[in-house]
Amino acid sequence: MTLSYREACRQAIRDALLADPRCFLMGEDVGKYGGCYAVTKGLLEEFGPQRIVDTPLAENGFTGLGIGAALAGLRPIVEIMTCNFSLLALDQIMNNAATLPHMTGGQFAVPLVIRMATGGGRQLAAQHSHSLEGWYAHIPGLKVLAPGTLEDARWMLAAALADPNPVLIFEHIVLYNTEGELDPALSSVDIRHAKVRRTGRDVSLVTYGNSLPKCLAAAETLAAEGVQAEVIDLRVLRPLDMATVIASVARTRRVVIVDEGWKSGSISAEIAARLAEDALYELDAPVRRVCSREVPVPYAAHLEEVALPRAGEIVAAVRALVAPH
């Protein structure tokens, strides 16, 4: 079946609404407008305004409403238009959704799903091109997902809604327009494990989200040079599946971590630290990272392109690791 990442997200939401009358969607422009990225187009007409709820421009307010609805037994899907706007709801996410199950000794669950667009590459300038998923992956009590494939965009939501704790799903804005084949035999994915998207023997490329297709493209280029790169799609940023990463590094002995977040304090930094702690002697070369430049993401297309990780940079990082061997 051929479909777009956008349509995969829409089908996932529609299935959730059909499957459970407790489930509803709310956020800015999700109803009449059909969503800022057209993901929710047509859902208001099908399900009505009680289940597709357009909210005011007040992230702290409607995220709090979602938390309350989850505590009351409903299954809310909260859409935050872009992840920078989620900072306006950070108190609700971190101090309420993530902590209430712990602070009540497990008496309350918060089965809340928050979807948000992330990343750069669409010329949305410095205030709307953030990659903040690494920030949220720092917070205990949250599960953080980053679907980088059609199958994950299609099936992660159902698994997230089945989780009794809050789940954040970061959908990269560049991926919405991508199209591909969806395996008709697939009907679910797990939200616990990373996945090997390409096998290789010479170097591990560890990544997620929109950096996944860049790593796969880099692996193709490297294969033509005789270098076999293994590509690991993290998929789940909290909790990190380090067992899959370490198993890959044990095979290849070299690793490049590709992360659209800024290098300082990033997911890539966390993975590098854990490899140093738990797999140092599996490595035959230093850990390398390819991240976004440490600047606000520029608006100008040519500057934005060089500010974000590129396939050519990944290839260059791998060449630097394997050249002496």
Residues forming the active site: 59, 128
Please give the Cα distance from 46 to 295 (Å, whole number): 43
Helix (H, G, I), strand (E, B) or coil at 75: strand
* DSSP-assigned letters across all residues of 216-283: HHHHHHHHHTT--EEEEE--EEETT-HHHHHHHHHHHS-EEEEEEEESTT-HHHHHHHHHHHH-GGG-
Q: Where are the beta strands (DSSP E) in the chain?
A: 2-4, 23-27, 52-54, 75-82, 113-118, 143-145, 167-172, 179-181, 195-198, 203-207, 229-233, 236-238, 255-262, 288-292
